[in-house]
């Protein structure tokens, strides 16, 4: 409580300072506008890919050390009930950027590298909102929300993309590290492309004479386990076929340094603006390709090594902010797009070298799952000197950043699923969401307080390739997470009143959809 009070007075001071600042610089803005401008810290959203709830030493990992991310957690607000909307990448990213539940948009599913942009260019987005508040906006890292209109020519400007949904600057990989095209794009153009060696991409069929993971195992430096047997780039077999663009192809082991350089450049180039930098990092998604200086550093094989690599990169980002003198005027949000997976398609020792490390942090399920480990992820807010360190078990979702950051910069969001959690993010309140719909490959479930209700779904209980329990069952499942965080005790039969309450509220939010005939609402 004390810390909250202390925070409040500091917050007032920041507010007063910003008003004073706006007034002092005597810019042309009207008095009315000045009134709406509150504080405008730089905002950086660091978003890892497939990092589990238990993958950080600040979240209980003992076999792996993540000192730089731990600093954010220990000196900021650490959330123990922070959620991605979804257990896979594209839908979670969609929700984070738009503030809209991804199941409202049918195309928000894991996308191939050739998919068209799934965010409507007329839609409200976090970068657009910040731009309207005077921010410069940039993305450096993984996009995976589609590009172009569906027939992108990779040798020309590809639009619409991040630049058409609010980012002034974009430096991205189109989809995932395991999907073609394996090139970077800067503001819609492939970087380093030789016009005499055009790129062709096709997800349906190979190009004549091109080797594949399936036919040419002798060319592979990393073996595929399931999927991932199409075109070979840098000895790694990928999803999808690609030809040409040799000079533009990324070097997997240099990707972390490459994106870090771009992120640093962005920070240095915008230190005098308020800026929003969205930093979706590729680790620890497959293929896990640590730079040689991180190989063997974790003792857990490449999956652990790339987490250590990502942690180092985040330390470098912090250093850059400090060097530019803007650490104290920068709000950092850290999270992950979905829960962990070990073998996600390559033989890379993730299973063999796991030892006693538990990426799920004691939760059930993992990536692709409706059980907790699918969507509950590390979630941290950090703002040096402005957030008093704390930990909260209030329910918060990445989708809430839109409304929360909106209030921070004095902008109201349009009708949206995003809830204003600004006070919670700043350590100034204990109040989180009352409920949340979570999603895994279009299946949805409902959380309310300590309770979670998973409706019946057909399909395999365990996805064999990845060895993850998906949350499919013939019957309703109801868990009390406070007493039973590992979701071992189904209370659907013993607590019909609670089950009914959750069904009803779920239906009110989720509306009618195919899975609902099984809800037996009466």
Are β-strands 396-397 and 390-392 bridged in parallel, bridged antiparallel, or unpaired?
unpaired
Find the part of the chain contacting Ca ion (CB under 5 A) among 86-94, 108-116, 246-254, 514-522. Answer: 86-94
Are β-strands 184-186 and 379-382 bridged in parallel, bridged antiparallel, or unpaired?
unpaired
Whether omega before 181 lies within 30 degrees of 0, making that bond cis, reads: yes
Q: What is the sign, positive or negative, of the torsion defined by CA atoms of 312, 317, 323, 325? A: negative
Among 22, 110, 157, 189, binds ligand NG6 (CB under 6 A): 110
Residue 399 partner contact from ligand NG6, Ca ion, none using kind-dependent CB cut-offs of 5 to 8 Å: none
50 near ligand NG6 (CB under 6 A): yes
Find the part of the chain contacting ligand NG6 (CB under 6 A) among 148-156, 188-196, 226-234, 270-278. Answer: 226-234
Contacts with 329 (C-beta within 8 Å, 6 or more apart), sequence order: 41, 42
Burial 159-169 (b: 16+ CB within 10 A, else e): bbbbbebbbbb
369 near ligand NG6 (CB under 6 A): no
Contact 119, 473 (CB under 8 A): no
Between 144 and 264, CB nearer to ligand NG6 = 144
Binding string, residues 141-180; x marks residues near ligand NG6 by CB under 6 A: ---x-------------------------------x-x--
Between 4 and 110, CB nearer to ligand NG6 = 110
Contacts with 142 (C-beta within 8 Å, 6 or more apart), sequence order: 49, 89, 172, 173, 175, 176, 177, 280, 281, 282, 285
49 near ligand NG6 (CB under 6 A): yes
Find the part of the chain contacting Ca ion (CB under 5 A) among 87-95, 271-279, 420-428, 514-522. Answer: 87-95
Find the part of the chain contacting Ca ion (CB under 5 A) among 48-56, 319-327, 417-425, 462-470. Answer: 48-56
Could you give phi then psi for residue 442, rounded to 5 degrees?
75, -10
DSSP state of 247: G
Find the part of the chain contacting ligand NG6 (CB under 6 A) among 101-109, 225-233, 318-326, 475-483. Answer: 225-233
- Number of amino acids touching Ca ion (CB under 5 A): 5
DSSP state of 329: G
**CA–CA gap between residue 19 and residue 23 (Å, rounded):** 6
89 near ligand NG6 (CB under 6 A): yes
Query: Please, what is the minimum distance in Å from the beta carbon of residue 1 to ligand NG6?
Result: 40
Among 54, 138, 213, 345, binds ligand NG6 (CB under 6 A): 345
Among 168, 309, 344, 400, binds ligand NG6 (CB under 6 A): 344
SS (HEC) of 284-296:
CCCCCCCCHHHCC
113 near ligand NG6 (CB under 6 A): no
| Angle, CA of 345, 349 and 351, to the nearest 5° | 80
Binding string, residues 456-485; x marks residues near ligand NG6 by CB under 6 A: ------------------------------
Give me the residues paired with residue 140 across strands: 171
Find the part of the chain contacting ligand NG6 (CB under 6 A) among 94-102, 224-232, 371-379, 443-451. Answer: 224-232
Residues that bind ligand NG6 (CB under 6 A): 49-50, 88-89, 110, 144, 176, 178, 226-228, 239, 285-286, 338, 344-345
């Amino acid at each position: 409580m004390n810390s909250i009070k202390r925070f409040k007075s500091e917050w007032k001071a920041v507010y007063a300072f910003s008003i004073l600042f706006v007034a002092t610089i005597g810019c042309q803005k009207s008095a009315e506008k000045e009134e709406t401008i509150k504080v405008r810290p730089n905002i950086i959203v660091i978003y890892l890919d497939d990092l589990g709830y238990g993958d950080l030493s600040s979240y209980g990992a003992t076999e792996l050390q993540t000192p730089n991310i731990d600093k954010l957690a220990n000196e900021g607000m650490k959330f123990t009930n922070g959620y991605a909307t979804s257990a896979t990448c594209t839908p979670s990213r969609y929700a984070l950027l738009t503030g809209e539940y991804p199941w409202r948009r049918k195309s928000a599913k894991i996308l191939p590298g050739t998919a068209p942009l799934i965010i409507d260019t007329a839609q409200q987005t976090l970068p657009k909102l910040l731009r309207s508040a005077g921010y410069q906006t940039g993305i450096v890292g993984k996009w995976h929300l589609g590009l172009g209109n569906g027939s992108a020519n990779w040798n020309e400007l590809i639009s619409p993309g991040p630049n058409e949904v609010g980012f002034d600057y974009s430096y991205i990989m189109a989809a995932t590290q395991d999907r073609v095209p394996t090139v970077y794009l800067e503001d819609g153009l492939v970087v380093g492309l030789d016009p005499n060696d055009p790129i062709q991409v096709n997800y349906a069929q190979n190009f004549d004479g091109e080797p594949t993971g399936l036919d040419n195992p002798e060319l592979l430096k990393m073996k595929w386990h399931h999927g991932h047997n199409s075109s070979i780039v840098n000895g790694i077999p990928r999803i999808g076929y690609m030809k040409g663009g040799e000079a533009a192809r990324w070097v997997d082991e240099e990707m972390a340094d490459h994106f870090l350089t771009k992120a640093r450049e962005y920070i240095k180039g915008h230190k005098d603006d308020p800026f929003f930098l969205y930093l979706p990092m590729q680790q620890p998604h497959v293929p896990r390709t640590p730079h040689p200086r991180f190989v063997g550093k974790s003792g857990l094989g490449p999956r652990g090594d790339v987490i250590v690599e990502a942690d180092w990169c985040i330390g470098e980002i912090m250093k850059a902010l400090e060097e530019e003198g803007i650490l104290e005027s920068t709000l950092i949000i850290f999270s992950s797009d979905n829960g962990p997976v070990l073998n996600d398609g390559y033989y890379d020792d993730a299973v063999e070298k796991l030892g006693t490390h538990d990426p799920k942090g004691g939760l059930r399920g993992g990536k692709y799952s409706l059980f907790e480990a699918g969507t509950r992820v590390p979630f941290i807010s950090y703002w040096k000197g402005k957030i008093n360190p704390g930990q909260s078990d209030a329910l918060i979702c990445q989708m809430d950043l839109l409304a929360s950051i909106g209030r921070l910069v004095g902008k109201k969001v349009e009708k949206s699923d995003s809830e204003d959690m600004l006070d919670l993010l700043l350590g100034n309140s204990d109040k989180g969401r009352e409920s949340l719909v979570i999603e895994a490959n279009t299946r949805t479930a409902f959380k309310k307080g300590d309770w979670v209700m998973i409706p019946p779904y057909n399909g395999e209980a365990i996805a064999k390739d990845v060895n993850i329990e998906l949350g499919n069952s013939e019957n309703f499942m109801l868990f009390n997470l406070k007493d039973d965080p590992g979701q071992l005790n189904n209370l659907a039969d013993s607590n019909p009143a609670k089950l009914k309450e959750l069904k009803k509220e779920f239906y009110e939010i989720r509306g009618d959809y195919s899975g609902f005939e099984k809800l037996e609402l009466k």
